[in-house]
Amino acid sequence: MAHIRPFRGVRPRKDIAHLVAAPPYDVLTSEEARQLAAGNPYSFLHVGKPEIDLPPGTDLYSDAVYAKGKENFERFRREGTIVQDPTRDFYVYKQVWGDHVQIGLVAAASCRDYLDDVIKKHELTRVDKENDRMRHIETLGAQTGPVFLTYRQNGAVDALVAEAMARGPEVDITTYDQVRHIFYVVDDPGLVARIQAAFAALPFLYVADGHHRSAAATRIKVRRDRERPSRTGEEEDNFFLAVIFPHSQMKILPYNRVVRDLNGLAPEAFLARLAEKFTVTPDAAPVPAAGRTYAMFLGGRWYGLAAKPGSYDPADPIGSLDVSVLQTNLLGPVLGIADPRTDKRIDFVGGIRGTGELEKKVRSGQFAAAFSLAPTTIEQLFAVADAGRIMPPKSTWFEPKLKDGLVVHMIDE
């Protein structure tokens, strides 16, 4: 059963919420964040990417960066830019991106569930990134970036979330990326209790995006438990900030690949090697029509690649992923890219940037070829997580991204 609970959220004033809301810390470079926040003292990037208020080139992991984040966060609270709610509430976060709508419950999710695999994972995490999030959380005494969780759609939960939205939103803003963010407060104690009970009937939650944030929060809980054995398990740091969406509303975009060279092969020889495992067709569309098919941009034209039967095991939840088939049959054996996590000859391009970005990178001369993939499905993500396995790197790109700053979870109050 999934344990969630309400919390006293810290939220921006309604009149400036559109100025506070900001992209997550890990989707912008420091320079991009500096430009986006320019002239806006309310942007939550001053908290999530505080290096923008320090000289360019400052070490992102220096004490000064974390201290600046704390200084800015405390200033926001002191000046009333963000204010803490008086009661423990749930929240509903609705996003509208073109014709796509997704509606999630904002709650404090259980670190114990994370440890017990009630909250299932599908990605490896890096210790250095976990350490960074731990320092950020503990320096501020707050979790400022929500973890994106999902669950198998459930009618009872849907009905309660719809009921929670009936009173109308507190905040309704559209951000620079043309995504509409609608935020509701759920402060009726009876409804809060019914929502909590409905989630307790769900067997599992799944991390869609935010593996490092959830891992960092859980490490903090575990360390504090070890240091203070008298803790009850009800302290706020036993939970982490999350937005929980039904799987039927998930929007997953492809995570495309670009490679810097053809591993010493001439284009003709390269295409001949590909024909061993793929059916190759010239003048293809830049977006593949189905799984295990790819579009490759090489030499100024798009080629279609279809994985041949027998080149992968359709029953293997990892081996049958599009990213795995490409890695196992092309990137590894033909291009010599054995470990895409560390090989500098490969780079990754989120599907939000479109296939035009792939063409641009190849035409620039910095890359030799680009591969456009079909997106991983939410069912594939569930299959991998349920099997207790880990997806290859850069397998999923979720859109729209959750904005930071719409609500914060305090862990030391």
Answer whether 43's CB lies under 8 Å from 36's CB.
yes
CA angle 404, 115, 409 (to 5 degrees): 25
pLDDT for res 164: 97
Q: Write out residues in the chain with pLDDT < 50, as ranges.
A: none
pLDDT, position 53:
97
Residue 393: predicted pLDDT: 84
Quote the pLDDT of residue 169: 97
Residues of the chain with CATH 3.30.1760: 255-374
Q: Specify which residues 105 forms β-bridges with.
A: 92, 244
State how far Cα 354 lies from the chain centre.
18
Task: Provide the token pair at 317.
Answer: 């939840």
Q: Which residue has the tokens 């400022």?
A: 144
pLDDT score, position 224: 97
pLDDT of residue 114: 98
Q: Which amino acid is at 384?
A: V
Res 27: pLDDT: 87
Closest C-alpha to 144, from 69, 42, 93: 69
Helices (H) and strands (E) in the chain, counts: 13, 21
Report the C-alpha gap between 152 and 172 in whole angstroms: 27
Question: Residue 362: which residues within 8 A CB-CB, separation 6 or more?
Answer: 258, 297, 298, 368, 369, 370
Residue 341 pLDDT: 85
Say which CATH topology domain 255-374 has: 3.30.1760
pLDDT at 116: 97
